[in-house]
Amino acid sequence: MDVALSLHKSAALYEQAKTLMPGGSTRATLFRKPHPFYVSHGEGAFIHDVDGNRYLDLANNFMSLIHGHAHPRIVEAVSAQLARGTCYSMSTEAEIAMSAALQARAPSFERICFANTGTEAVLFALKAARAHTGRPLVAKVEGCYHGLSDFAEVSVAPEPEAWGDTAPASVPYSIGAPQAVLDNVVVLPFNDLEKALAILEEVSDRLACVLVDPVPSRAGLAPAGTGYLQGLREFCTKSGAVLIFDQVMSFRLAHGGVEEYFGVTPDLSCLGKIIGGGFPIGALAGRSDVMEVFNPQSGRPKVFFGGTFAANPISMNAGLVALDLYGPQEVSLINMLGDRLRDEMNDWLRASGIEACVTGAGSLFKFHLGRSEVHDYRSAWVNAAQRKITADFVDALAMRGFHIIPSGLGCLSTAVTADDIDAMIAASKDVLQSICSR
């Protein structure tokens, strides 16, 4: 059954937006055809658009709102800080409290620096690894997204004809990426330790770091095998390269982040999203000897860390409350609801013979239409026609009041209930059935 919402105000706003911003939006990720939805407000697990429609929010501003919208304790903490000023060119106690809260969660977080985005956290991690090792090369995994800096963008979304035969090729993402960047990035396959190690061994004396997201959203959102991460750990220990876990999205998986979840210890971790309590944030945390490259005590540090709004007290205070509200119980509750969504959907998809699957871990999930098994970027890859089917699925869910990201990605916040998840499962089945019978 087709369902349609009224979206007249959003459509009109988009007409105006197109005259002001390229394509009408600052964030390319928010674009959807024929136009983005414009939000009026959010409350708990729900957002409301300007046309008066309400959606269960399973996108949570790209996985950053771990407690949904406008949690009263975060509103209270931020309001109190607002009245005292938003940022100063002096340090604050909130920065210390926030560092201590993070340090208490994971043994590898020996030292911490704050930035404003996950992009910056990754950028500083790569600089730190180069400065610490004195080596130029960065190894990253095919299809993994690590923000928008030049090196991190390599091979984020290569088309099959560019994949390379033996080792994955270094493929530019933005047009204009300099060859020097591509030459300094080695690309690894995900979840294939033998092939990854063969590539790494070739460059080990010039390698500064191995950067990996253990549950990469754009490489299928299939969790890494523990053996894969452990193998990378052993290689880095042996070769002296820095092992960097990008936990910007996946820190939510356990109270102590992916280090606890997978039982493998990185040298550096990039953090962001949920640790800001809904405000801009990025952080780099890790081994104190590596983080020492940022130490300004004896004059100019090896790598300069800073930023006008880095460690601003609004993000620090909001983040502190968000972390406080996200204890082991809350983590396991939303992880269980995530299991329920994935397991019920996958059982049903197998039984109905529909070629699709739902990957993910904990409270993260991703629908793959046209693929029944996904374990890396290549097995998740679908062509434009198949991507359009996913977009249709996401649109049809929105028409039923469920908001996920156009690529089929979503997450749970602590504001959702088991009933919300059951409603999402029912709506997903309904939509998939009607799409597959077209």
Ligand X SMILES: Cc1ncc(COP(=O)(O)O)c(C=O)c1O
Instruction: Name the amino acid, one letter, at 254.
Output: A
Distance CA 136, CA 285 (A): 21
Of residues 394-433, which lie at the interface with ligand X (CB under 6 A)? none
Q: Which is nearer to ligand X, 252 or 400 (CB)?
A: 252
Q: Which of 206, 194, 197 is nearest to 138 (CA)?
A: 206
Considering only residues 217, 335, 413, 428, which one is a binding residue for ligand X as defined by CB under 6 A?
Answer: 217
Helix residue ranges per DSSP H, 21-117: 60-63, 72-84, 93-103
**Contact mark string toward ligand X, 172..211, x via CB under 6 A:** ----------------------------------------
Q: Which is nearer to ligand X, 122 or 321 (CB)?
A: 122
Residue 43 vs residues 39, 167, 322, 327, 400: alpha-carbon distances, Å: 11, 47, 16, 21, 18
CB of 368 to ligand X, least distance (A): 18
3-class SS of residue 46: strand
Considering only residues 147, 214, 266, 338, which one is a binding residue for ligand X as defined by CB under 6 A?
Answer: 147
Distance CA 223, CA 267 (A): 20
CB of 149 to ligand X, least distance (A): 9
Distance CA 282, CA 326 (A): 18
**Tokens coding 419:** 């009933």
285 near ligand X (CB under 6 A): no
Of residues 263-282, which lie at the interface with ligand X (CB under 6 A)? 272, 282
CB of 323 to ligand X, least distance (A): 17
Residue closest to ligand X when measured from CB atoms: 118
- Write down the residue that tokens 């993070």 correspond to: 102
Q: Which is nearer to ligand X, 266 or 282 (CB)?
A: 282
| Residue 280 φ then ψ, to 5° | -60, 135
224 near ligand X (CB under 6 A): no
246 near ligand X (CB under 6 A): yes
Q: Which is nearer to ligand X, 214 or 400 (CB)?
A: 214
**Tokens coding 387:** 């991507």
CB of 353 to ligand X, least distance (A): 33
CB of 307 to ligand X, least distance (A): 13
CB of 29 to ligand X, least distance (A): 8
Are 207 and 126 contacting, i.e. CB atoms less than 8 angstroms apart?
Answer: no
Only one of the segments 37-45, 198-206, 241-249, 373-381 lies at the binding site for ligand X (rule: CB under 6 A); that segment is 241-249
CB of 72 to ligand X, least distance (A): 25
CB of 48 to ligand X, least distance (A): 24
Considering only residues 14, 37, 145, 367, which one is a binding residue for ligand X as defined by CB under 6 A?
Answer: 145
Are 310 and 94 contacting, i.e. CB atoms less than 8 angstroms apart?
Answer: no
Distance CA 112, CA 148 (A): 22
Of residues 115-134, which lie at the interface with ligand X (CB under 6 A)? 117-119, 122
Total residues in contact with ligand X, by rule CB under 6 A? 15
CB of 280 to ligand X, least distance (A): 7
**Tokens coding 138:** 């960065």
Of residues 36-95, which lie at the interface with ligand X (CB under 6 A)? 62
Q: Which is nearer to ligand X, 115 or 320 (CB)?
A: 115
CB of 430 to ligand X, least distance (A): 29
Q: Which is nearer to ligand X, 62 or 348 (CB)?
A: 62
3-class SS of residue 36: coil
Residues 6+ apart with CB under 8 A from 7: 35, 37, 49, 51, 53
Largest CA distance in the chain: 68
Only one of the segments 38-46, 135-143, 244-252, 383-391 lies at the binding site for ligand X (rule: CB under 6 A); that segment is 244-252
Only one of the segments 9-17, 83-91, 112-120, 171-179 lies at the binding site for ligand X (rule: CB under 6 A); that segment is 112-120
Q: Which is nearer to ligand X, 164 or 307 (CB)?
A: 307
Q: What is the CA angle 248-251-257, rounded to 5?
A: 140
Considering only residues 249, 320, 356, 398, which one is a binding residue for ligand X as defined by CB under 6 A?
Answer: 249
Q: Which helix (H) or strand (E) holds 226?
A: helix 226-239
CB of 62 to ligand X, least distance (A): 5
- Kind of pairing between the strands at 185-188 and 137-141: parallel
**Tokens coding 193:** 């330790």
Q: Which is nearer to ligand X, 204 or 407 (CB)?
A: 407
Q: Which of 206, 205, 286 is nearest to 245 (CA)?
A: 286
Residue 238 vs residues 210, 242, 289, 387: alpha-carbon distances, Å: 13, 10, 17, 41
| Residue 398 φ then ψ, to 5° | -60, -40
Residues of the shown chain interacting with ligand X in the complex, contacts defined by CB under 6 A: 62, 117-119, 122, 145-147, 213, 217, 246, 248-249, 272, 282
